[in-house]
Structure 1
Amino acid sequence: MLKILRRVLIGKPMESARIAHERLTTLKGLAILSSDALSSVAYAGEEILRVLIPVIAVASFSLITPISAAIVILLFIVSFSYRQIIDAFPKSSGGAYIVAKEHLGVNTGLVAGAALLFDYLLTVSVSVSAGVAAFTSAYRPAAQYKVALCLVVVAILVVLNLRGITESATVFSYPTYAFIIGMFLLIGIGFYKIFIVHIPITNLPPPQPANPDISSLALTWLILRAFSSGCAALTGVEAVSNAVPNFKEPENKNAKMVLALLAFLLFVMFSGLTFLTKALYIGPVHEMTVISQVAHKVFGQGVSFYLFQASTFLILALAANTAFAGFPMLASLMARDGFLPRYLALRGDRLVFSNGIVMLGVLAGILLTIFDGITTRLIPLYAVGVFTSFTLSQSGMVRRWLTHKTGNWRTKLFINSLGAIVTGTVTVVIAVTKFKHGAWVILVLVPVMVYSFRAVHKHYMDVKSQLDFDNYLKRPGLMHKIIIPAASLTNVVANTVDYAKEISDDVKAVHISSDKEFTEKFRRKWETWNPGIELVVIDSPYRSVFDPLVEYIIEADKNKAEGEVVTVLIPEFVTCRWWQRFLHNQTGLMLQNLLVFQTDVVVTTVPFHLKECEI
């Protein structure tokens, strides 16, 4: 049943030889890797106004243009900087983790890796919550189910990504290009109505100067806070360079084309939406997002408005797919280096890193539940991680050009140096201005993550040294001292006793007694059967099964003779149906876990398969 459901949801397994075909074209790469960056246009401008309007009211609209212009300049600096990374790593992932680890040292690489992993997690959370917010803006009765809707969207994304890269890219191409077309229509029709038709602006507030009581220093601080919030528009730009191996050959040429198209689209869409927001004097309200209000003003309450809202919802929700492309790959690289669990480096049936996809989905679901699915509560956490990875990747490239002075290295050095300085400055600004709003979480979490990575790596190194075959010492012949836990006399126990007698003459059955009458009946049945092995009965007045049994086994292990090994054979019957297993006690499994962590005892189960089940 589970296998059939798995095949229906995920699809048939793919041969490893097909991995070369599971790569992205330019159009599909733009769809799957740009959705995060493009979707951030829908809420970046709104985040700027959320900071400005409560303090300086209508004067906020005079500041949104220069702040947005600064963000656009930063966009082009970052984009040109990442082109250098793609050129430097044409065949492999050129993400901040690889660049920083190779050129700035392992610890710096781990900081970049931690920031990127958390960035991908927040990408899913922010995108999904923003998408659901767009949906509830159009259909307000659904607002009370915001968290549930977020979890449903995450589950759908997990299943789609488990089906494979190219298949998920095909699915996500439609909403991405629908949103791009919708945004160009919104900007084009909006410009036409403002400059040609002269659209009436209802409820236009009277122009007011900035709050005269606010000092220059306070105003500067306010602008910096607004700028740091608006920098959410740049999130996702790094995704292209992180996923160079996912492109068809030539990988670097296709990746650079996607990055250039992404920068152009971001410039047009972010600038156009900012202009419309200012021209129409639209600010954030609780019931509707800013982009929804702009669309309502431009398209009216008609089919076009609802189609645009649908495309916005889809791009915001599916923008999380950028993270589902990046997180598993980055986790696989770190797992191969021994800094994350090894199973994250394994590809699943559909040639994707299935464990990483599932892990990302689970963590995003937890985060959305904790923050009640509200985007603005996640934005302060979002930007710090993004710009930390920006800064470290650019700094790593600066070190590269200073070390490898080949080709046009001075120009490349200038571009990456400018990128490192600018993004580093922005990182500090965001960390300071957003510190009490949640940025402190990143500043605390990243060192904890790096320490965890180091602990995982140390464990793997310790395991490797002890498992190394060069250190193998052949053990002398072993004699088994077998203990069989026996709750009652059944075919399962008898089957285990017969097996034990074939491999050792030293066999004992151990019964934990909490009911004297039952124990006496059990003893009589044992004597009647007379298997030729001793039955040890241990009283348990407090009805505990595990404690006295484990104590007996540990004592037997301490008193064993040289060359002896204590082996516990656990009788276990196997049900006909998978679900029937949950109807029975898992005593054997729990006992096995207890003994493995406490002793050198060998623990194994002896299965007895039930037959002819009618259900």
Structure 2
Amino acid sequence: MMSSFKRMLIGRPLKNNEIGEQKLNKTKALAILSSDALSSVAYGPEQILIVLFAVSTAALWFSIPIALGVLILLAALILSYKQIIFAYPHGGGAYVVSKTNLGKNAGLVAGGSLLVDYILTVAVSVSAGTDAITSAFPSLHGLNVEIAIFFVILLTVLNLRGVTESASVLAYPVYLFVLSLAILIIVGIYNILTGEVSPQLHTPIGTPVAGISLFILLKAFASGSSALTGVEAISNAIPNFKDPAPINASKTLMIMGALLALLFAGIISIAYYYGIAPAAEVTVVSQIAEETFGRNFNYFFIQGTTALILILAANTGYSAFPLLAVNLAKDKFIPRMFLARGDRLGYSNGIIVLGVASIALIIAFHAKTEHLIPLYAVGVFIPFTLAQTGMIVKWIREKPSGWLLKLTVNAIGALISLTVTIIFFITKFSQIWSVLVFLPLIIVIFYRIKKHYDSVGDQLRLSENTEQRIIEGNVIIVPIAGMTRVVENSLNYAKSLKPDQIIAVNVGFEKEDEKEFKEKWNRWQPDIRLVTLHSPYRSIIVPLTRFIDVVERKSRESNYQVTVVIPQFIPKRGWHNALHNQSGLFIRSYLLFKKNVVVATVPFHLIM
């Protein structure tokens, strides 16, 4: 039943040789890997306006030069990540670049930051998409958390179905969003050029503003830079591209950069000329669309596509998180389960963990986008800075053809990224201080996991000097609760092993019952020794495990192996288990931690 439900939910299992069909072409890759970056134009410009509006409406003209600075940073990052794609064509992005050129610790800082950032990508994107829905339908404001959780579950299921299938579904909303914003920007610019927008709505550029300071301008710049989150996703997901993967990834990155620049510049410019100010329950894009078209079909089309891409931007996290987790798991810094491919050839464990962690964040922050964005942005600018710095070290060390130009590009990117990171810590410390706690904690966890895997490897490795335990005999203990076909089945199995001794152990609560049981046993199995343990406190586990400990200790002195054979019947239906005593499960759980005891379960399957 569960198997049928799973197949209905995520589709039929795919063969290993079908993995090539799960690769993305440029059209689908642009949609699935750029959705995070493109969607950020729906809230990136708004973050600039929120900071400036706190001073006065007159300060909103500063959004134009600040946006220009953000676009310069975008250009530097796009050119830099293009170089990373060709330098590290197997993916891994900032983690691989930092680890290779700056050392293991820098790599773990980048990797840890990005893992958390991709979780935040899902939480922020879905929360922002929910905001867009509730802006259009205010009656839904009280259901933000529930709506956001529903969309996370939906995206998780879609991604479990496979990369190409999710890309096929998600590509349409992304391109519809680009089309709708392009129409909005073109109509908005037309209205401005034709004089339909009053010049009284905005303060002229260059107007002095009381209360403005360098600190506020830097804070607005850092806030606007949140629109650049997701730029690195393509460099992490190169293995998802069809061959030639680096070339296709590079072209997709350049197209994404151009689209992001045009949309970001268009939204911020129209917001300035329209005199749009940020509002608590209505997004800036919603206000622009309403001013341009009114509350008609065009308005709801823009709101609908905006909500969709904000929600689907989470898919960038679903594409990049599992691949980054694979690189960390290969290096033994996170559990090896992240290396396993699921039925649909995707890294399903990474997808599921990402979905669960995102839901936890949405619940913790009550789906409030403004509370998540600062953490989200700083989480990606730390890897930005480390990746650019790592590339600087690479060019200085290797000095390939044209390395000075490449070095300059990465140096500019590193400098601006570092500046933005510092600004975030200075201006938004109260919102992002937790980064200084969880990053060291994550790195400690990475090293503990690595230490465990190294220790396991050392203990499991074959060596000529490994001391071998000599086993000269075998003692089998069979815990029994009565004389049944289940016990008979287990005893027959024990006899087939031809051990030196079989001991049946029964735990009794009443002396009379113990005596009667022993008499019946001697008639039924006279050739098998029965040990009856009296339990005045009605416990089965304690006296039984103590007896096993005693036998194990004596057997070890004689180089005998102790094996405990546990009889167990298996009901036909799973829910029937709740109707029966599970003492066998507790015995097995305890004995698995005994170093020199072998545990075997002999199942007896019931037919009804």
TM-score normalized by structure 2? 0.94
Residue 80 of structure 1 aligns with an amino acid whose one-letter code is: L
Q: CA deviation at 1:597?
A: 2.4
| Residue correspondences, number | 605
Residue 118 of structure 1 aligns with an amino acid whose one-letter code is: V
Residue 13 (str. 1) matches residue 13 (str. 2): yes
Q: CA deviation at 1:521?
A: 6.2
Q: CA deviation at 1:545?
A: 3.4
Q: Which residue number corresponds to residue 587 of structure 2? A: 591
Aligned-partner Cα distance in 2 for 1:151–1:61: 35
**Match for 1:497 among 491, 514, 535?**
491
Q: Secondary structure at the match of 2:227?
A: helix
Q: Which residue number corresponds to residue 125 of structure 1? A: 123
Aligned-partner Cα distance in 1 for 2:398–2:404: 11
- 8 Å CA contact retained: 2:58, 2:203: no
- Greater shift in the superposed pair: 528-537 or 325-334: 528-537
- 8 Å CA contact retained: 2:92, 2:327: no
Q: CA deviation at 1:531?
A: 5.0
Aligned-partner Cα distance in 1 for 2:590–2:598: 12
Aligned-partner Cα distance in 2 for 1:255–1:206: 41
Q: CA deviation at 1:327?
A: 0.7
- 8 Å CA contact retained: 2:92, 2:324: no
Residue 233 (str. 1) matches residue 227 (str. 2): yes
Q: CA deviation at 1:185?
A: 0.9
Q: CA deviation at 1:408?
A: 0.7
Q: Which residue number corresponds to residue 60 of structure 2? A: 61
Residue 574 (str. 1) matches residue 570 (str. 2): yes
Aligned in 2, Cα 1:519/1:48: closer, same or farther, shift over 3 Å?
Answer: farther
Aligned in 2, Cα 1:599/1:198: closer, same or farther, shift over 3 Å?
Answer: same
Correspondence list, 1:340-379, <5 A: 340-379=334-373
Deviations 1:488-534 (A, max 9, x none): 43322222122223322422233334566766665555345335333
- 8 Å CA contact retained: 1:86, 1:94: no
Residue 418 (str. 1) matches residue 417 (str. 2): no
Residue 142 (str. 1) matches residue 137 (str. 2): no
Q: CA deviation at 1:331?
A: 0.6
Computed over aligned residues only, the root mean square deviation of the Cα atoms, in angstroms, reads 2.5
Correspondence list, 1:324-343, <5 A: 324-343=318-337
Residue 269 of structure 1 aligns with an amino acid whose one-letter code is: L
Aligned in 2, Cα 1:553/1:99: closer, same or farther, shift over 3 Å?
Answer: same
Aligned in 2, Cα 1:51/1:544: closer, same or farther, shift over 3 Å?
Answer: farther
Q: CA deviation at 1:201?
A: 9.9
Q: Secondary structure at the match of 1:40?
A: helix
Deviations 1:31-70 (A, max 9, x none): 011000011111112222333323x131341222222221
Aligned in 2, Cα 1:476/1:544: closer, same or farther, shift over 3 Å?
Answer: same
Aligned-partner Cα distance in 2 for 1:486–1:88: 65
- 8 Å CA contact retained: 2:80, 2:410: yes
Q: Which residue number corresponds to residue 27 of structure 1? A: 27
Aligned in 2, Cα 1:582/1:260: closer, same or farther, shift over 3 Å?
Answer: farther
Q: Secondary structure at the match of 1:597?
A: coil
Residue 463 (str. 1) matches residue 456 (str. 2): yes
Q: CA deviation at 1:422?
A: 1.4
Aligned in 2, Cα 1:417/1:518: closer, same or farther, shift over 3 Å?
Answer: farther
Q: Which residue number corresponds to residue 558 of structure 1? A: 553
Q: Secondary structure at the match of 2:366?
A: coil
Aligned-partner Cα distance in 1 for 2:459–2:343: 32
Q: Secondary structure at the match of 2:566?
A: strand
Percent sequence identity over matched residues?
A: 44
Correspondence list, 1:178-257, <5 A: 178-196=176-194, 198-199=196-197, 212=210, 214=211, 219-257=213-251
Aligned-partner Cα distance in 1 for 2:219–2:517: 76
Structure 2 gaps, min length 5: none
Q: CA deviation at 1:593?
A: 2.2
Q: Which residue number corresponds to residue 510 of structure 1? A: 505
Structure 1 gaps, min length 5: none
Residue 455 of structure 1 aligns with an amino acid whose one-letter code is: R
- Greater shift in the superposed pair: 494-503 or 72-81: 494-503
Deviations 1:174-224 (A, max 9, x none): 0100100011011111222333261479999999x9885x4x6xx322222
- 8 Å CA contact retained: 1:93, 1:242: yes
Residue 547 of structure 1 aligns with an amino acid whose one-letter code is: V
TM-score normalized by structure 1? 0.93
**Match for 2:301 among 307, 312, 315?**
307
Q: Which residue number corresponds to residue 601 of structure 1? A: 597
Deviations 1:278-324 (A, max 9, x none): 22232333322222222222221112222221111110111111111
**Match for 1:287 among 273, 281, 284?**
281
Q: Secondary structure at the match of 2:280?
A: coil
Residue 70 (str. 1) matches residue 69 (str. 2): yes
Residue 565 of structure 2 aligns with an amino acid whose one-letter code is: L
- 8 Å CA contact retained: 2:61, 2:203: no
- 8 Å CA contact retained: 1:127, 1:319: yes
- 8 Å CA contact retained: 1:344, 1:353: yes
- 8 Å CA contact retained: 1:154, 1:365: yes
Aligned-partner Cα distance in 1 for 2:322–2:586: 32
- 8 Å CA contact retained: 1:284, 1:290: yes
- 8 Å CA contact retained: 1:554, 1:599: no
- 8 Å CA contact retained: 2:202, 2:273: no
Aligned in 2, Cα 1:211/1:166: closer, same or farther, shift over 3 Å?
Answer: same
Residue 227 of structure 2 aligns with an amino acid whose one-letter code is: A
Residue 450 (str. 1) matches residue 443 (str. 2): yes
